[in-house]
Amino acid sequence: MTIAVQTAPRAPAPPLPRKHTTIRRAQRSATWLLLTPFLVLFVVAFVLPLCYAVIESFFTEKKSGLGIGGERVFAGLANYATAILDTDLLEGVGRVLLFGVVQVPLMLLVALALALAVDALKGVLPKIVRLTAFLPYAVPGVIAAILWAFLYLRGTSPFVAILARLGVDADFLSNDVVLWSIANIVTWTWTGYNMLVIYSALTGIPRDLYEAAALDGAGAWRVARSIKVPLVAPALVLTTFFSIVGTVQLYAEPTVLRSYSSAITAGFTPNMAVQDVAFGLNNYGVAAAMAVLLALGTFALSFGFLRVANRVTAGRAAV
């Protein structure tokens, strides 16, 4: 396992005799030869679209009298003002934040608990868990959403049927509950994957640490709390980081579930709101401004998290 290994700063390679400059030149041309194919496509798929969206966010289409076609005029920050005041976007952002605050820690706690249990036990059961944990990840988000839609839908849902027998009238697709029903779909898809990432960090912990702890009289719970969890902190930071990015990007699950629940509006999540404004209302300038704000928000959230996480883990290491 490679996770815990921090590569020591390498001593600079000793200068090669004679051929040195020719090698430098060869390296320079190889650099660009190997990098260019990726860079060209990177520009096409990321840089150009980003620049285009930023530029478009400052322009608007001035409707002509008949409302057909129009003239493209510079709009300054007007699109941004409209975007900030857009109630769909605001509600979507609020929804996604609430979702993230609840779902991400919950999912990672479950993943951590499962990883610790798999690591602590021997036998067939841990192996079965590791194999089945992979299955939901292999189920695409769209299919997961379809699958759970039927598991929520009155008439096909075993859960609604069981709860009805207990006298509870459950509606997983209603206004108040649907956000958490989506949270469950995302949790189902990603818990196993995150568990495997954390578990692989656990297997990288040197075993003699446990022996030393046992000699000091630490029990299994104490070892888990004081050795295992702190040492897998980097894996937790990484999985949290990707979960935050995924939460902001929430799109496929609610879009699919929309066919089954009237509680999900066209602009339910920020990504959906942007798409709705662009293709539903054909207001590309405002949609671009919304998307740019969304990108800035994602940067602030994820880097903010990394900064806090680094401070916390560094502080812990210093103690």
Burial bucket for residue 178 (CB in 10 Å: 0-12, 13-18, 19+): buried
Judged by CB under 8 A, the residue of 9, 158, 217, 315 near another protein is 158
- Helix (H) / strand (E) containing 220: helix 220-223
Nearer to another protein, 75 or 292 (CB): 292
**Using CB under 8 A, which residues numbered 12 to 51 contact another protein?**
13, 16, 19, 23, 26-31, 33-35, 37-39, 41-42, 44-46, 48-50
Enumerate residues 6+ apart whose C-beta is below 8 A from 251. Answer: 269, 271, 272
Options 66-74, 142-150, 170-178, 206-214: segment touching another protein (CB under 8 A): 142-150
165 is a contact residue toward another protein (CB under 8 A) = no
Would you give the binding string for another protein spanning residues 209-228, x where CB under 8 A is met?
A: -----------xx-------
Nearer to another protein, 65 or 291 (CB): 291
CB 205 within 8 A of CB 262: no
**Least gap, CB of 85 to another protein (angstroms):** 19
Would you give the binding string for another protein spanning residues 256-295, x where CB under 8 A is met?
A: x--xx---------xx--xx--xx----x--xx-xxx-xx
Residue 203 to residue 1: CA distance in whole angstroms: 8
246 is a contact residue toward another protein (CB under 8 A) = no
**Least gap, CB of 284 to another protein (angstroms):** 7
DSSP per position, 87-120? HHHHHHHHHHHHHHHHHHHHHHHHHHHHHHHHHH
**Using CB under 8 A, which residues numbered 112 to 141 contact another protein?**
113-114, 117-118, 120-121, 125-126, 128-129, 131-141
Pull the structure tokens for residue 103. Answer: 């779902």
In 3D space, the residue among 132, 109, 255 whose CA is nearest the CA of residue 185 turns out to be 255
